[in-house]
Amino acid sequence: MTKALQTCLWFDGNAQEAAAFYCSIFPNSKILNDSGMVVNFEINGQRFMGLNGGNQFKFNEAVSFVITCEDQHEIDRYWKQLTSNGGEEGQCGWCKDQFGVSWQVVPAILGKLMSDPEKGQRVVTAFLKMKKFDIATLENC
Same domain, 26 and 82: no
Asked if residue 118 and residue 64 are part of one domain, the reply reads: yes
> What is the band of 1 on the pLDDT scale with cuts at 50, 70, 90?
low
In sequence order, what DSSP letters do the residues of 45-98 get, joined into one string? TEEEEEEE--SS----TTSEEEEEESSHHHHHHHHHHHHSTT-EE-STTEEE-T
Mean pLDDT of 111-134: 97
Q: Which domain, by its residues, includes 32?
A: 1-57
Domain count, the chain: 2
| pTM score, whole prediction | 0.93
Q: Is the per-residue pLDDT at 141 higher than 70?
A: yes
- Of 125, 71, 130, 70, the closest CA to residue 95 belongs to 130
Query: Which residues does residue 107 pair with via DSSP β-bridges, in sequence order?
Result: 69
- Quote the CA–CA distance of 95 and 100 in Å, as a whole number: 9
Q: What is the mean pLDDT of residues 110-134?
A: 97
Residues 50 and 64 grouped into a single domain:
no
Q: Residue 125 has what pLDDT?
A: 97
Pair 73, 134 in one domain = yes
5 and 39 belong to one structural domain: yes
Share of the chain above pLDDT 70, in %: 99
